[in-house]
Amino acid sequence: MTHDTTALNRARHRFDGAPAVWLFGYGSLIWKADFDYLDRRHAHLHGWSRRFWQGSHDHRGTPEAPGRVLTLARDPGASCAGVAYLVTPAVFDALDHREKNGYLRHVEPLVFDDGSRVDGLVYIADGHNAAWLGPASDTAIARQIAAAHGPSGANRDYVLHLADALRAQHAEDAHVFAIERELHRLAGLTAR
């Protein structure tokens, strides 16, 4: 699959005339919702874990020095905390561009904090896309993130903003917090 998945996403999940769709955010969408939405709720996606396994050649890195951003990996028994946004289908043109670097839209069941459930769209990148970097040690991931910078800013800021946003919603994520600690260690700062 190419780096740019915009056309693939526009052919997937055409919304069948739905006036609004739930969108699940698990990375920068938690703290950077630069689109209009009708409602915002904390939600969980069961059976998935966040991982810094996707390359960012377009936002948090460059083609020559890609950053690392999040995707989801199947993980039975896990629960990924995030934010669900109720959006009109019109926002997906901008979202498809934002998530174009290897991400595809998937329909997955979301669970809200009150226990109610709804199917929602989520962008997931897997090993079949050209920007895939895959697993690495926490130290190797943090080193790559610490060195990467792209049009959307320093890759390090992506991690730090996300860690703060997860804490604000009282969500635990061992992987994100481990990468954050490694970034602080590499920078010679005291870990939180």
State what percent of residues in the chain have pLDDT above 90: 74
Q: What is the DSSP string of 16-69?
A: GG-S-EEEEE-SHHHH---S--SEEEEEEEEEEEEEEEEEESSSSS-SSS-EEE
Non-local (6+) Cβ contacts of 165 within 8 A are 30, 31
At residue 183, the pLDDT reads 96
Residue 13's pLDDT band (cuts 50, 70, 90): low
Which of 99, 172, 180, 182 is the catalytic position? 99
pLDDT, average across residues 153-180: 97
Residue 1's pLDDT band (cuts 50, 70, 90): very low
Residue 184's pLDDT band (cuts 50, 70, 90): very high
pLDDT, average across residues 79-92: 94
pLDDT, average across residues 152-169: 96
At residue 59, the pLDDT reads 87
Inter-residue contact 65 to 53 (CB < 8 Å): no
Q: Residue 169 corresponds to which tokens in the numbers above?
A: 């919603």
pLDDT, average across residues 145-152: 95
Q: Above 80 in pLDDT, residue 170?
A: yes
Distance of alpha carbon 138 from the chain centroid: 18
Q: What is the DSSP string of 68-124?
A: EEEEEEEEEEEEEEEEEEEE-GGGHHHHHHHTTBT-EEEEEEEEETTS-EEEEEEEE
Q: Domain extents for the chain?
A: 6-187
State what percent of residues in the chain have pLDDT above 70: 90
- Across the chain, mean pLDDT equals 91
At residue 22, the pLDDT reads 96
What pairs with residue 71 in β-bridges?
51
For 101-144, write each residue's pLDDT tens digit: 889 889 999 999 999 999 999 999 999 898 999 999 999 999 99
Q: Residue 159 corresponds to which tokens in the numbers above?
A: 């991690």
CATH domain 6-187 topology: Hypothetical upf0131 protein ytfp (3.10.490)
pLDDT, average across residues 14-28: 87
Q: How far is CA 76 from CA 49, 81, 124, 149, in A?
A: 9, 15, 16, 33
Of 121, 129, 160, the residue nearest 56 (C-alpha): 129
Residue 191's pLDDT band (cuts 50, 70, 90): very low
At residue 175, the pLDDT reads 98
Sign of CA dihedral 37, 43, 48, 53: positive
Active site residue 108: no
Helix (H, G, I), strand (E, B) or coil at 152: coil
